[in-house]
Amino acid sequence: MKFLSVNRRMFALLAVIVPLLALLIYVALRSGPLAPISVTVTTVTNRSIAPVLFGIGTVAARYTYKIGPTYAGRVKRLDAHVGDRVKAGQVLGEMEPVDLDDRVRSQESAFKRAEATLREAEARQSFAQTQARRYEQLFAARATSEEIFTTKRQELQIADASQSAAREELARARSDQGALVAQRANLRLIAPVSGLVAARNADPGTTVVAGQSVVEVIDPASLWINVRFDQLRVSVLSAGLAVQIVLRSQDGRRFGGRVLRVEPIADAVTEEILAKVTFDALPKRLPPVGELAEVTVTLSALPALPVVPNASVQRVDGRLGVWLIEDDKPRFAPVKVGATDLDGLVQIISGLKAGQSVVVYSQRALGTRSRVKIVEQLDEVSP
Amino acid sequence: MISLAGRDILHAWGKFVFTGVGLGLLIGVTLTMAGVYRGMVDDAKVLLDNSGAELWVVQQGTLGPYAEPSSLYDDVYRTILGMPGVDRAANVTYLTMQVRQGERDVRAMVVGIVPGGPGEPGQPGYLIAGRQITRSHYEAVVDIVTGFKLGERIQIRRNHYTVVGLTRRMVSSGGDPMVFIPLRDAQEAQFLKDNDAIAQQRRRTAENPAFNRPVIPDLLDAVIASQSINPYINAVLVQVKPGFIPEDVAETIRRWKRLQVYTRVQMEDILIGKLIATAAKQIGMFLVILAIVSAAIVAFIIYTLTLGKIREIAVLKLIGTRNRTIAGMILQQALGLGIIGFVVGKIAATFWAPIFPKYVLLEPGDALLGFAGVLLICALASVLAIRAALKVDPAEAIGG
Amino acid sequence: MADMRGKGIRIEALRKRYGKGDTAVDALKGVDMQVAPGEVVGLIGPSGSGKSTMLKCLGAVIEPTAGRMTLGEEVIYDNGWKIPDLRALRRDKLGFVFQAPYLIPFLDVTDNVALLPMLAGRSNAESRKRALELLEALDVAHRAKAMPSQLSGGEQQRVSIARALVNRPPVILADEPTAPLDSERALAVIRILNHMARQYETAIIVVTHDEKIIPTFKRIYHIRDGKTQEEPGEGRAFE
């Protein structure tokens, strides 16, 4: 009775304090280090996954023809421009002949002189032959001395030799002339195959050295992709596998292709395996040489095994495994992993069975003594 | 005997609670400041925990890779793998830079990790959404602090990456969120600049007659190619075989490979002792000042509350109340104020801590310490008021 | 003269000196006074006459310089010797009624009065019972659970009188109890004081200069320049 007014006050104050304290306790237990850790789980299922290999490559032309002179010289004219389509045998340009024409003419004269020398040698030889025969007859009739006979025979041999020399001299002059003519022909830059002019490295008037390329021609039909695959898990890469190609400039369009070959020499520094991939059908708009391409190789599906998302697999105390939830408590189960696919599914070779519940995502790192709470989706991740 | 303090509080409870709330906010700020400090230390520890490494192999003579830049050739890890006691070794690069997404960019620590199987050192230990990186290029796992969502495309230097996974509490010691990308891409990002700069560099190389020799047509291409690769990484993260002591393995690597190796304990010292030491001292000083200010304000409040009751105190003394009883009343009120203030402060701190851009860690130990501190300060503050109350002359009640 | 033995208050040759040496001031220069139980006397004097000093000595708030004070059966001061626990003395042997009620604002009416017996060590239930008795006697029991701020001035004054009486002190000091009141109320207060004095056999000293109530006293002490002089009062009956 006495306490009524006092009690009312007390009640009002408690109505403020008690919820405050309750809030405090709630706050202490729900957040901060004492709170349970939210986790999401998934059931292990038996699935067969198709491993996919992924590599980055650049578009390249299979053959690039770098056309240039075989002698140092000056570019006289260049008719080809980058992007022109050329046919096999087409003349793309020409180098300055300089003194080559004069040298050809001089060589012609040398050839004619060699011809004349040959005729002279032949004349001498026939004369020497006649003389040798006559003196042979005379010697047989003892009308002349042996010395003169021997001399005439020797003159015949000399004349034979001179004739041979003159003949070879003529051949040599012919060869030299052939060589100069060939060189004169070489002054012309000729496209070896039909294709596209890809580069023009020197303009008319530029002096170039032997071996320097003036014009580069590629065959656009021979475009392929030079792909690099990370060395891990590519033991199954082999020629003939079907691939999908995505070009950087044509994002979203997938082109079909095939692995042409796996290079026998890998890149030791970057630890990558090189392969060549061809298009099944060239894109309508030809990709420029050097463009980046992403290549995915889908391998054949492996037999079904328990699979888990790769977010579930963690390394704890040096062992690879997953966290299972048993009786609301986490337990770490070591596993052996097999192949993975590019979507993040990992095969479990041993350590798990289909139907078990494994932790996929957790708010914090789990330990054997953590308090956990299974939720549908973690709070921080908005749908 | 009734409780005078209790009755006074009940009578003027509005004023009391209001004062308590004000005091509570001040206490909340102090608790939060302590949480900021703890958060900084936790960031450093979390960085070390998340790397999954027991040893850090860095350039000789540096405190890297977090406290100082460190550069190693990326094939060093092969020789380390061969050393006794080494279970796993993986290259890693770190670069703090701006990561762009759409119109905005975010400061992040870009970590280049080896996209091998799960559990390689350097990879994020656990995810909150998505999956780990499976492709060797152009995929990223980001921390949720960046604000990026699954499936978004982010830009790092010249390349675009698709976000395939989200993590939580993967931050650098400075509190910047981490973005994990494949090692090759990270090496390129660390080294290659944007397209304009690369074009400039090529032009300069082409103008250099030493590199641009017509007699050797492919020389220029070879030089430019060599300039465009980056064979460096920042550190090799090592996990030690069970049964081996990390320090022993570290010593072996140090002696035979001329590299600097740090164990977990040493890295913690470096991070906490050198990297965040200055910031920690700054916050520590601020915390001390806050505590002093809080104490002063509490003392002032209690003193004022007491002075407002001087007449009642004089009457109480006159009618024969013990000094002890009066002192007890003031002390109880001070403690009650402290308790209300602490409860309000703790709740406020818990609710506004997640809003801070960097991690704020409110430890229960700190809260208990804070509670004890608040009570102590209230008790000491009440001493001043009690002295004033006891000095009151009961004769004051009797008019002049 | 009533029988003084056992109760009431007696003061003999009381002196009070403030300060020392040349600057010393004698506020009281030998005061004699005695009040019998049941008596209500007036103490009248202008300001500066030592009236407040007298009150403080009577209220055991300050210590006199010389003289003798006897309260009830106890000598509480004798020329330098004083009873050690003044506070307990005030609690148990003195009651105070002030110009303003001076009720504790955060205690309700009952607890305001019950506080004194609680301070004396009685149980809460007992203290409240006593308090209720007095509140009934003073006709404010119907406001027993109200807070002081909810009472009228007259009701508050009656509660303060109840508080002064609750421990049955032998002496009650009333300092200008009627100053803010009108004549009807003032006389009512004096009536109550007289009634209570007789009922509880308490000696009441009323310090006042209120013309309205001075005629009611049977005995009056005039204090001037530190000395008192006793005079018979009109003793006019009221009501």
pLDDT score, position C224: 84
Q: Would you call A382 an interface residue with chain C, using a CB distance cutoff of 8 Å? A: no
Q: Which of C47, C119, C127, C207 to mutate to test the interface with B (most CBs of B within 10 A)?
A: C119
Using an 8 Å Cβ cutoff, are B156 and B189 in contact? Answer: yes
- Interface mutation vs chain B, best among A16, A40, A348, A361, most B CBs within 10 Å: A361
Helix, strand, coil percent values for chain B (each to nearest 5): 55, 20, 30
Is the per-residue pLDDT at B400 higher than 50? Answer: no
Give every residue of chain A whose pLDDT is below 50, as ranges: 1-4
Rounded to whole angstroms, the Cα distance separating A26 from B347 reads 10
Quick one: pLDDT at residue C19? 83
Give the N- to C-terminal CA distance of chain B in Å, as an integer.
Answer: 32
Measure the CA–CA gap between B9 and B18, rounded to whole angstroms. 12
Read off the amino acid at residue A7: N
Chain C neighbors of B393, CB-CB under 8 A:
61
Nearest-CA neighbor of B117 among C157, A299, A378, A341? A341
Could you give the maximum distance between any two Cα atoms of chain A, in Å?
186
Q: Which residues of C touch B3 (CB under 8 A)?
A: none
What residues contact B278, with CB distance under 8 A and at least 6 apart?
A: none
Given this model, what pLDDT does residue C5 score?
A: 47
The span from the CA of C100 to the CA of C177, in Å, is 7
Cβ atoms of C219 and C232 within 8 Å: the answer is: yes
Which residues from B are below 8 Å from A60, CB to CB?
none
Q: For residues A259 and B113, what is the distance between their CA atoms, to the nearest angstrom?
A: 28
- Which helix H or strand E contains A30, and what residues bound it? helix A4-30
Q: Are strands B139-143 and B159-167 parallel, antiparallel or unpaired?
A: parallel
How far apart are the C-alpha atoms of A370 and A5, rounded to whole Å? 49
Strand partners, C19: none
Q: Considering CB atoms only, which of A13, A209, A229 is closest to B13?
A: A13
Q: Cβ contacts (< 8 Å) between B316 and chain C: which residues?
A: 104
- Subunits with 3+ Cβ pairs within 8 Å of C are A, B
Show residues of chain B in contact with C91, CB under 8 Å.
319-321
- Contact A27/A286 with Cβ under 8 angstroms? no
Neighbouring residues of A318: CB distance < 8 A, sequence distance ≥ 6: B87, B239, B240, B241, B242
Q: At residue B218, does pLDDT exceed 80?
A: no
Q: Measured between beta carbons, which residues in chain A are less than 8 angstroms from residue B214? A: 208-209, 212
Residue from the list A33, A337, A382 with its beta carbon closest to the beta carbon of B364: A33
Angle (deg, nearest 10), helices C183-200 and C153-165: 20
Rounded to the nearest angstrom, the minimum Cα separation between B21 and chain C is 22
Question: CA B66 → CA A135, B62, B92, B276, distances in Å?
Answer: 110, 10, 12, 11
Q: Which residues of B touch A363 (CB under 8 A)?
A: 128, 168
What is the per-residue pLDDT for A365?
84
CB burial of residue A182 (10 Å; 0-12, 13-18, 19+): exposed
Would the CB atoms of A55 and B136 count as touching at under 8 Å? yes
Chains that touch A (3 or more CB pairs under 8 A): B, C
- Burial environment of residue B210 by CB neighbours within 10 A (0 to 12, 13 to 18, 19 or more): exposed
pLDDT over 70 (residue C6): no
Other residues' Cβ atoms within 10 Å of the Cβ of residue A83: 9
Q: What is the mean pLDDT of chain B?
A: 86
User: What does the pLDDT look like over B327-359, one tens digit per residue?
Assistant: 998 898 888 888 888 988 988 998 898 888 888
pLDDT at A1: 41
pLDDT tens-digit map of C37-61: 888 888 888 877 778 888 888 888 8
Q: What tokens does A13 get?
A: 């104050």
B323 Cβ under 8 Å from any chain A Cβ = no
pLDDT beyond 80 at B197: no
**Whole-number pLDDT of residue A2:** 44
Q: Chain C within 8 Å of B15 (Cβ-Cβ)?
A: no
CA dihedral C2, C3, C6, C12 (to 10 degrees): 70
The rounded radius of gyration (Å) of the Cα atoms in chain B is 31
pLDDT digits (tens, 9 = 90+) for C121-136: 888 899 999 899 888 8
| Residue A237 contacts residue A297 (beta carbons within 8 Å) | yes
Among B132, B340, B364, select the one facing A34 at the smallest CB separation: B364
Residue B57: which pLDDT band, with cuts at 50, 70 and 90?
Answer: very high
What is the pLDDT averaged over residues B351-378? Answer: 87
- 0.80 surpassed by pTM: no
A177: left (phi over 0), alpha (psi -120 to 50) or beta: alpha
Question: C124 and B397 in contact by Cβ < 8 A?
Answer: no
Binary contact (B363, A230; C-beta < 8 A): no
What is the model's pLDDT at position A71?
79
Residue from the list B10, B311, B320 with its beta carbon closest to the beta carbon of C119: B320
Q: What is the DSSP string of B25-43?
A: HHHHHHHHHHHHHHHHHHH
- What does the mean pLDDT of chain C come to? 84
Query: How many residue pairs from chains B and C have C-beta atoms closer than 8 A?
Result: 78
Residue B400 in contact with partner chain C when CB distance is under 8 A: yes
* CA nearest to B111, candidates B89, B140, B134, B132: B140
Rounded Cα gap, residues B182 and B164, in angstroms: 12
Within 8 A of A5 by CB-CB distance, chain C residues are 108, 145, 147
Q: Judging by DSSP bridges, how do beta strands A336-340 and A345-350 pair with one another?
A: antiparallel
What number is the ipTM of this complex? 0.79
Distance (Å) from the alpha carbon of C48 to chain A's nearest alpha carbon: 45
- Structure-token pair, residue A252: 């979203």
Tokens of B78: 């092969």
- Residue C239, min C-alpha distance to chain B (Å): 30
Q: Per-residue pLDDT for B302 more than 90? A: no
* Chain A interface mutation, best of C118, C128, C145, highest count of A Cβ atoms under 10 Å: C145
What are B262's two structure tokens?
């740090």
Separation in Å, CA of C62 to nearest CA in chain B: 8
Which positions 145-184 of C are in contact with A (Cβ < 8 Å)?
A: 145, 147
- Provide the pLDDT confidence category of residue B313 given band limits of 50, 70 and 90: confident
CB contact under 8 A, B318 and C96: yes
Rounded mean pLDDT of C170-182?
Answer: 83
Which chain B residues in 204-243 lie under 8 Å from chain C, judged by CB atoms? none
